[in-house]
Each structure stands twice: as C-alpha cells, then as structure tokens.
Amino acid sequence: MTPWLGLVVLLGTWSLGDWGAEACTCSPSHPQDAFCNSDIVIRAKVVGKKLVKDGPFGTLVYTIKQMKMYRGFTKMPHVQYIYTEASESLCGLKLEVNKYQYLLTGRVYDGKMYTGLCNFVERWDQLTLSQRKGLNYRYHLGCNCKIKSCYYLPCFVSSKNECLWTDMLSNFGYPGYQSRHYACIRQKGGYCSWYRGWAPSDKSIINATDP
C-alpha cells in the first residue's frame, strides 16, 4: 500500500474523480482547507504517464510540467512526477496527458508527491477567479482560521476563528458558492469571516489577471 492511502478519509475534498467509485469515500472539504492541509499545491500540465508494479493494483506515475507552485517551496521546490493508485476504487486519480493544465494538491513522502481522488484536483480552466486569487494569497492568509462544515440546520460557530460552511445544505456535497467564490480570512479584531473581494465577470478581464 502506498503511503497516501492512509489520508483518504482525513484529507477528503472535491476532485475530478467519480464520487461513486467503490471503496473510495471522500469527506467534502473547502478548497482553502485543501490548500492549507497539503504539502504541495501546484499548477501543472501532464506530459506523460506509466504504470509501475507497486501496491495491489500498481501505481500510476504521471510526468508533469510544473507551471507554478503555490505551496510547498520548502518541501519540494520543483515537482516532476506525481504518484497515485492505479485503481479508482483505491482513490487513484485519472488525468489527461497533453491536454489540460491542472491544479494539483498532495502530500510528500520519501521525496515523492502523492495525490488521489480525495485531494483537491481540478482543471485549471474550471477554477473561478476567486479560487485562483485564493491560491495566490487569500487561502494562505486564512490557514489559521477554521472552516466549520454545516450539514444540518441549525449550525453555529463556536469560536471567533471559525467560518460556517453551508454549501452542503443546498448542493448535496458538491462544490457550492462558498467553495467557488469565498475564502475564510482573519479580519480586524481577530475574527475570521468569509471574504470574496471584487470578482469581475468580464472574461477578458479574468484572462488579463490570470495568476
């Protein structure tokens, strides 16, 4: 068993994978939590892959071209390969080669980056402008805040460093408005609260400010 499998339940977040994959269960997590709890967060393009004999179903090794690193400079300043289980039932991740740029998050073990369906992985062109700004600086500012999940009403924050995350009430576990447009950031007075900032809807402006 490869090391990252032990993180399946602990580091659950939305990803590109099939939620119905047998034996792969992921707890929802806001992208900010995924960012703060990951060793590595990068933007990259997959340029190759191979299957190696490791674990019960093998391990997929993706060769990537790293475009930008957002987190992990001290852990692994440059990532060339990422590792994932070959089987989706073990939360293995399937990525397209030479097709898309991806936002990839994962953990580092023995000098290797491991990722899977329970990590936050998304096509770069599917991220909102607010999420891209979050990767650049907003999520980092909120790593000392706590995002508290609300599955059933009533829900309340219990301390000043909490933001109440209610996407699950209306989106049935899928990424909702808070996930796509908000970051939980500490404000004046030490209180954490949701912050969006200004997000232009003009696509040409979004492209011009693309991080």
What single string gives the DSSP state of each residue in 150-198? --SSS----STTEEEE-HHHHHTTS--HHHHH-EEEE-TTS-EEEE---
The 3-state secondary structure of 73-115 reads: CCCCCCCCEEEEECCHHHCCCCCCCCCCEEEEEEEEECCEEEC
- Sign of the CA dihedral running 170, 90, 148, 138: negative
Main-chain dihedrals φ then ψ at residue 168, nearest 5 degrees? -65, -20
24 is in an annotated binding site: yes
- Reference 187, options 167, 165, 157, 162; nearest CA is 162
List the Cα angle 87/116/140 in 5-degree steps: 180
What are phi and psi for residue 81, nearest 5 degrees? -130, 145
Tokens of 136: 């650049």
Query: Token pair for residue 193?
Result: 């609260």
Known binding residues for Zn(2+) are 24
Known binding residues are 24
